[in-house]
Amino acid sequence: MIDRLRERGIVNEAVLAALRTVPRHDFVEEALKGRAYEDTALPIGFRQTISQPYLVALMTEQLMAKKSKLRSVLEIGTGSGYQTAVLSCVTTKVFTVERIAALSNRAENLLSAMGITNVRFRVADGYQGWKTQRPFDGIIMTAAALAVPPDLLLQLADGGVLVAPEGDERQQTLATWTRQGGHFQRHDLVNVTFVPMLTGVEH
Catalytic residue among 51, 72, 80, 104: 51
| DSSP one-letter string for 129-174 | --GGG--EEEEEESSBBSS--HHHHTTEEEEEEEEEEEE-SS-EEE
Cβ atoms < 10 Å from Cβ of 99: 23
Neighbours of 9 (CB within 10 A): 10
Please name the residues in contact with 132: beta carbons below 8 A apart, sequence gap of 6 or more: none
Q: How far is residue 71's CA from residue 18's CA, in Å, rounded to a whole number?
A: 16
User: Which segments of the chain does DSSP mark as H helices, in order?
Assistant: 2-7, 13-21, 53-64, 82-90, 101-113, 150-153
- 51 an active-site residue? yes
Asked if 63 contacts 157 with a C-beta cutoff of 8 angstroms, the reply is: no
Query: Active-site residues: which are they?
Result: 51
